A and B are shown apart, each in its own frame.
Chain A
């Protein structure tokens, strides 16, 4: 009996061993897509761009030595590694790509999905992007980026920078959101949840290619007043060099369509209100000498407190931000460290932040998009889903009024305990 069972088991196992491995694929049989670009196609409904880097050992020495310099080789490579197909759907495009790519296309290591701004605004994006999650190879923590201009160009321009892999570059770049707050750190999962949610509206990272067009090499020196840093959209930064892609700002969606975008500064304000920024840097105009700036490092003292009053006709939103900070420099040389002067800076910072938030709030109200996620507070007043859905928060938000209170405490002043004036010519 034992022998027979053993024999039977052995036979079954043997047949399994011999015939199985249905899902087993050698690791190098796959073509790993790391970036995907989606936009309107010309000859078909969509144009899909896939970046499939070639993993070689020489990769490391090549880009490490070359950096951004030897363009010719890199361009050739970029051309080889990026493929663009036009097809009626994403997976049709993938199937078509299989006709000229020898390895199986695999999305397991997909790092970012890039959607062109046109495509996002046209309302087709929700259909394509949300359904991506249905496919088991696509990971929920893939980043989603809306880019200005062509998604194909963006994917082509996304090259490994100071590293060997574009995924590392993108991951590190996106993780910067925690520090600067100039763009949100959002994944395709967040997008899918928010786009269907009744509490909030969807957001994505806004990005663009910056080829240095805004960079004016020679000209008149700047004499204008104070400008908040990053208070512009991606692609507008006056810079040159480095890699071309640039993440800055937020793409704002309403009902799955992109309806607007926030600047870097506005995004920073939103992130501060949401409590996502544990620490960031902010530059404010010097309260006493408005020509000059005071850079300040801001930390969150307490999580932001929000209460939404829905008793009235229009909801009242009360928000309190508690922040603390540290002065980085004082170009004006005014002794803000002293207890009398400290209050002035604190007041100025609080005012600056409050202004920024109010500005952003007003902008979002016109877009009917609750980027501050105040809906999540409003929902606490409801017992059942039916009541909540009937309340129609989206409509109510655009009518809401904001009561903002910002507390800022100056804790430290860097390594200087007070500012001794720079020697000036005696008059």
Chain B
């Protein structure tokens, strides 16, 4: 029996910060540089703002139905069949996202560290970690995230500090990249970058009430907004906007460029740990959310038997993309651009329907 357990403010923020922020370590910033040039940092702040706007709807929905998870709300508002259908689609979507993010990690890993290993080998180890994390429950993932968030952010800050000699302020100019209008529109569209915050709905029951959810949601968006924006900024400082468009992983490349004296150089494999831990958590969170929703749809009370089959599905999703370019330029790109349709639109629709049908949750504790 896998229990969700309860966890607090710090753990929840850790989960979301890692889940959202870890993507900056992969191909996303490169794509950003390609679209908006030098103003990636500005764009991602706009994304964060629009995510906060979208999240407000979800928060209102969760507030309207206190002590209910997103899945239960869907059932209540849309009726059992339609609600479950929606949940099922979202569950499948989340699983696919997990698969694509995992494949992205594996491809980057193959490029930089393990060029000779077949992807399936990396995947098997990865899946073992996911199974271990998910088998011990969401609470454990949250606690692990709490640990790792320090390592990830600490390591990130360390990379940045060590890279200061490579920074040139002028690379930030021209400030608006390929034009302010383009930056704003892309920023709005790429709010899906922060879309993981929508998973708060699936975990709502493990969190302490809607006030807490509000705090968690906005704080996570704020923190990751700042972090991602700073990351885009620093990548820009280190590479000119033209070179930034070539990198498979700007963060890792930044780490390889560390060169302080004869000893403190070539330390990039150390930063592998940030990646690995962060990605393990990210994919586990996605996977777990997907599993929770799946079990809800089919009313499976014991999730343990579902775990291994779903891992197999995840493994198979991983095998679908042909290579890095397909993952980074097509799949990830479309996820970041259109993900908000899946992440936020359902919440908005459900909220509207709930208001129209005048459905409301019990106000026993709120």
Contact = CB atoms under 8 A, between A and B. Distances in A.
Interface of A: 1, 5, 8-9, 12-13, 16, 19-20, 22-23, 136, 139-141, 168, 171, 187, 189, 192-193, 196-199, 373, 376-377, 379-380, 382-388
Contacts of A5: 135, 308
Given A5-B308, A168-B262, A196-B242, A189 B179 contact: no
Interface stretch (B76-84, B166-174, B208-216): B166-174
26 contacts: A13-B128, A16-B121, A16-B124, A16-B125, A19-B121, A23-B114, A139-B256, A140-B257, A141-B257, A141-B259, A141-B265, A197-B240, A197-B242, A198-B240, A199-B170, A376-B171, A377-B170, A379-B173, A379-B174, A384-B176, A384-B177, A384-B178, A384-B180, A385-B174, A388-B173, A388-B174
Given A23-B115, A379-B170, A384-B176, A199 B259 contact: no
Given A136-B115, A383-B174, 11 more contacts: A1-B304, A5-B135, A16-B121, A20-B117, A140-B253, A193-B240, A199-B240, A373-B170, A379-B173, A385-B38, A387-B174
Contacts of B259: 141, 187
Interface string B42-85: 00000000000000000000000000000000000000000000
Given A1-B304, A13-B128, A23-B116, A141 B178 contact: no
A141 B165 CA distance: 12
Contacts of B253: 140
A196 to B, nearest CB: 5
Contacts of A193: 239-240, 243
Contacts of B258: 141
B104 to A, nearest CB: 17
A387 B111 CA distance: 36
A280 B258 CA distance: 25
A20 B178 CA distance: 46
Contact of B114 (A22, A377, A387): A22
B112 interface: yes
Contacts of A196: 240, 242-243
Contacts of A140: 253, 256-257
B118 interface: yes
Q: Which 5 residue pairs are nearest across A and B when measured between Cβ atoms?
A: A376-B170, A22-B117, A141-B259, A382-B174, A379-B173
B173 A141 contact: no
A166 to B, nearest CB: 13
B175 interface: yes
A211 B37 CA distance: 49
Nearest to B253: A140
B176 A380 contact: no
Contact of A20 (B121, B176, B177, B242): B121
Given A136-B111, A197-B240, A383 B175 contact: yes
A401 to B, nearest CB: 21
Contacts of A384: 174, 176-180
Contacts of A376: 168, 170-171, 173
B366 to A, nearest CB: 39
A193 to B, nearest CB: 5
A22 B121 contact: yes
A171 B308 CA distance: 52
Contacts of B239: 193
Nearest to B254: A140
A317 to B, nearest CB: 14
A119 B115 CA distance: 31
B304 A383 contact: no
B345 interface: no
A376 B259 CA distance: 23
Q: Which of A5, A16, A379, A384 has the most CB of B within 10 A?
A: A384
A12 B124 contact: yes
Contacts of B38: 385
Interface string B86-124: 000000000000000000000000011111111001001
Nearest to B111: A136
A187 B257 CA distance: 10
B243 A197 contact: yes
